[in-house]
Amino acid sequence: MAVASIAILTLLTAAVLFGPLIWRMPINEIDFTARLSPPSWEHPFGTDDLGQDLLARMLYGGRISLAVGFAAMAVAIIVGVLIGAISGISRGSVDAALMWITDLFLALPQLPLLLLVIYLFRDFLKNWVGAEGGVFILIVLVIGAFRWMPVARLVRAQFLSLREKEFVEAARALGATTPRLVIRHILPNSLGPVIVAGTIDVAAAIIAESTLSFLGLGFPPDIPTWGRLLFDAKDYLDIAPHWALFAGAAIFLTVLTINFIGDGLRDALDPRRVM
């Protein structure tokens, strides 16, 4: 299952990376004679209400959707590992404060805050790095900022149990400093579950981006992310179902395969198999 998923996901990634080089149809060529046409040889995924080629739009939009997913995962993991590690290795008040912050973030109502933050900062970032880049940074940061807490808790729990392990004690007895203990001994043994959790974050971020685009708060309308395609397609579900179908299927496949890969990784990284 996991192996098949890796194959499918690789294919998807390769398609969005190299597809536009092969399928050279422009994403924004308006052709009113071919409005809402179903899949054909000329337009394999059909066209939208302006006669734009959907395959080209999906390939282009997929780059952004996948990039958002992986970048948000990276942010969530980096923040989560940092907070969890500091919390897990220090005792007392530092640990307590960090866990308090983590709980606070967990308790926040995420979607309303997400909308609020985007609403407040969008224009500022738009002026600063342009519409596309601004929204990208914003979405990645915001999704990352709301997804690091489970990672932090996971890493902290791993640290608490690992630092009592005899091999860590042995390294201390050899004279290892705390940074060395963390980097060489504790962290490498705590990352298995984190990677598994990270795969789920990719899926969650892609869905969150789709949700935002669907609500009209994501990327500008002329950037056809998969979520935006769904959003635009919703008014034509009865006369042009192909429009929503392909974008929906792409999101579904990506999320599903990533989750299967996460499951596979969990089994492969299970320490009981190693030890």
Partner 1 sequence: MSEPLLKVAKLTKEFPLKGGLFGGHTASVHAVDGVDFHVDRGETLGLVGESGCGKSTTGRCVLRLIEPSSGEIHFDGKDVRSLKADDLRILRRDIQIIFQDPYASLNPRMNVGAIVGEALIIHQLTKTKQQFEERVVDLLETVGLRADHMGRYPNEFSGGQRQRIGIARALAVEPKLIICDEPVSALDVSIQAQVINLLEDLQEKFGLAYLFIAHDLAVVEHISKRIAVMYLGRIVEMASAHELYASPRHPYTEALLSAVPIPDPKVKRQRVRLSGEVPNPISPPTGCHFHTRCPIAQFPLCKSEAPPLKQSADGHWVACHFR
Contact set with partner 1 (CB under 8 A): 165-167, 169-177, 180, 184-185, 188-189, 271, 274-275
Q: Which is nearer to partner 1, 129 or 191 (CB)?
A: 191
Taking the C-alpha atoms of residue 209 and residue 219, their distance in angstroms, rounded to an integer, is 9
Q: Output the smallest distance, CB 160 to partner 1, in A.
A: 13
Q: Which is nearer to partner 1, 22 or 275 (CB)?
A: 275
Q: Output the smallest distance, CB 92 to partner 1, in A.
A: 12
Q: Which is nearer to partner 1, 33 or 93 (CB)?
A: 93
Taking the C-alpha atoms of residue 82 and residue 182, their distance in angstroms, rounded to an integer, is 11
Q: Output the smallest distance, CB 117 to partner 1, in A.
A: 35
Q: Output the smallest distance, CB 256 to partner 1, in A.
A: 30
Q: What is the dihedral of CA 228, 229, 234, 237, to 10 degrees?
A: -170
Q: Which is nearer to partner 1, 175 or 216 (CB)?
A: 175
Q: Which is nearer to partner 1, 52 or 190 (CB)?
A: 190
Taking the C-alpha atoms of residue 147 and residue 152, their distance in angstroms, rounded to an integer, is 9
Q: What is the dihedral of CA 31, 135, 77, 108, to 10 degrees?
A: -120
Q: Output the smallest distance, CB 168 to partner 1, in A.
A: 8
Q: Which is nearer to partner 1, 28 or 177 (CB)?
A: 177
Q: Output the smallest distance, CB 28 to partner 1, in A.
A: 50
